[in-house]
Amino acid sequence: MFDLNFSFYLEKQKKEGFFYVLVENNFFLCLEIYSGINEFEGYKIIDDLKDIIKTKTFRNKYLINSLFEFDNFIFNFIKKNNLSSNFSLSSGYLKENILYVKTINKGQIYIKKNNNFGCLIKDDNIASGIISNGDFFIFTSSNFLNLIGGEDKIKQELEICNYNPQKITEKISLFLKNKNNNASACLFIEFFNKKIISKKEENIKETENKKNLFFNDIKNSRKKLTIFTAIFIFFILVWSTFTGINRKNKLLIDKRINQSKEIILQKLQMAEEVSFLNNQRALILIEESKNELESIKKESEKLNIKNKKIEEIDKIIKETENEIFKTRKTSFQEFFDLSLDNKDALGEKIYLNSNIVYIFDKKKNLIYKFFLEKKSLEKIDLKETKSISLIFSNDEKIFFYIKNLGIYQINNLEKPIKIIENDKDWGEIIDVFVYNNNLYLLDKEKDEIWKYIKTSDSFSQKISYFNKGESIDLSEINSFSIDGSIYLSSKKNIYKYISGKRESFNFNLPLSDFNFNKIFTNKDLEKIYLLDKLRGAVYILSKTGDYIEQVSSEIFSKADDFFVYKEKIYVLIKNKIYKID
């Protein structure tokens, strides 16, 4: 079995055309498409090809068993994707110890075998041959060779770099860095045989066995002193053998890490380039980078080898991900402690009205009225009123909903009065909002938002907020907010309504494993805020659904409730309010 040590050079994608290098399941491809395709279409072609290569049929090598079948596979790949003549390709497939290769148009493949170096095939051609330990291949195009300075130049640089794929890539990257080049690509592969390493280890074991026999002879002739000497020497040899094998493993892991680092850095670079136009593609590239790193970690753990480069690569991936997806990790500070007023205080729900926050302590039937600017606190005792479910406010008036009883109002610490009788049409009321003095009750059981319009001294009879046929299944909805429009959120979706009519609202979070717990906005805010306790994050969107950033903090995972005031995020956790800038 042959293993690979490879590296590749890939110029940044241009506005026109598509350039890619692929190494997957012993399949090698260097593809240059000069026009007639955009980057998104190019990645779709590559993704489809990867899906084929990863299948069990391909992996078990039933698909390609001869040069003819490999040639046919490449032909079908070109035909399926309708590639025009304005492209170049160099490709190979390794089956056991036989390498099949093919070039099209400007494609070129070079080989270094023993001490000989030269062009194997170019233009429209195919070939196959037996691979030996140390064979070195270049998959590229004449465009790349011209940029470097031709065959003699690349040979000279390879000799200087001792045919090391990583070193030659680094040197080429530096050489071409400040040049205004056309896009180009090149893949360098060194093949080495694992069996040779295994044979060396067997030789070490054989030597060890001979030494053991030698020690047995000494034992018969030298007795005690000689035995102790022999045991000592034996342990020295065992230690030497162990450290020798361990050293080889470290070298193999180091080579594997360098190889994977090249792949990861290229993927991260591609992710940065495509993120502006295609967040989803950038996300896939980030995930592929993480998977590649995880593979290295498992190999290292299996051999019980620690390598600082793994931590460095992990850091690079996280920094790139944070930069691309605008993830901002932030600290938090304690803003106010309710227990200063009452040591047993326990807030559960919070409601913002202007610059006043109302915090409901359900256990004690207390409402804390907290003035944000002054940082002062008032306490409203409702012990005579049992089983309050929700609180909300408008101006100086405080409202609360009691299941099966109705909606009550309290003003200036007077005794609560019922303003809306319990309605037999109500189902499960999970949230209430006041906007323009009107009340909105979110009823997830009846798939309704009940609207009560403010009159001179009371409220009107309920009406459905939704226009006819505009309601949706609200069983998964967990909260809503109003800024003139109404925004409903479930764990995975956001719905927007204007004047009872559903509007199109497409949001583009750069990740798929999100779980919204609450949505928050109001007429004073320009943005929408979504709490995700599972990921410890708040996602910030524009009111058209455009992703702005993700704020991450451990405090979000513990939140009982949250709100936003003057674009600062506040989190309620039991008896404390925390502030996140």
Give pLDDT tens digits for 194-204.
Answer: 665 455 455 54
Structure confidence at residue 289 (pLDDT)? 86
Cα–Cα dist 185/473, whole Å: 52
Contact 480, 449 (CB under 8 A): yes
Structure confidence at residue 214 (pLDDT)? 46
Helix (H, G, I), strand (E, B) or coil at 35: coil
**Biggest CA-to-CA distance, the chain:** 117
Dihedral sign computed on CA atoms, order 336, 340, 343, 346 = negative
Tracing tokens 């009452």 back to the chain, one arrives at 342
- Quick one: tokens of 10? 């890939």
Give 62-66 contacts, CB < 8 A, sequence gap 24+: 64/93, 64/95, 64/100, 65/95, 66/100
pLDDT under 50: residue ranges of the chain: 61-62, 197, 200, 204, 213-215, 218, 221, 242
Computed on alpha carbons and rounded to an integer, the radius of gyration of the chain in Å comes to 34
Cα–Cα dist 79/65, whole Å: 21
- Nearest by Cα to 512 from 532, 529, 497: 532
- Nearest by Cα to 440 from 386, 503, 499: 499
Q: From the CB of residue 522, how many other CB atoms can be counted at a distance below 10 Å?
A: 17
Domains and CATH numbers, the chain: 2-198+247-325 (3.60.40.10), 333-580 (2.120.10.30)
Cα–Cα dist 496/479, whole Å: 12
Cα–Cα dist 471/485, whole Å: 15
DSSP state of 224: H
Contact 546, 508 (CB under 8 A): yes
Contact 533, 555 (CB under 8 A): no
pLDDT tens digits, 26-65:
899 999 998 888 888 888 898 888 888 877 555 554 468 8
Q: From the CB of residue 302, how many other CB atoms can be counted at a distance below 10 Å?
A: 10
- Nearest by Cα to 154 from 104, 192, 118: 118
Q: Which stretch of DSSP H or E encloses residue 31?
A: strand 27-33
Q: How many residues does the chain have?
A: 581
Residue type, 391: I
Angstrom distances, CA of residue 49 to CA of 23, 25, 80, 473: 11, 12, 11, 40
Contact 13, 32 (CB under 8 A): no
Q: From the CB of residue 479, how many other CB atoms can be counted at a distance below 10 Å?
A: 20
Residue type, 244: G
Residue 372 C-beta-side C-alpha neighbours within 13 Å: 20
Total H helices, total E strands in the chain: 9, 35
Q: Determine phi and psi for 292, rounding to 5 degrees.
A: -60, -45
Cα–Cα dist 121/90, whole Å: 9
Structure confidence at residue 30 (pLDDT)? 94
Q: Determine phi and psi for 309, rounding to 5 degrees.
A: -65, -30
Structure confidence at residue 68 (pLDDT)? 82
Strand partners, 247: none
Structure confidence at residue 541 (pLDDT)? 94
DSSP state of 467: P
Structure confidence at residue 62 (pLDDT)? 47
Cα–Cα dist 496/485, whole Å: 7
Q: Which stretch of DSSP H or E encloses residue 532?
A: strand 527-532
Structure confidence at residue 479 (pLDDT)? 94
- Nearest by Cα to 139 from 190, 65, 79: 190
Cα–Cα dist 322/282, whole Å: 12
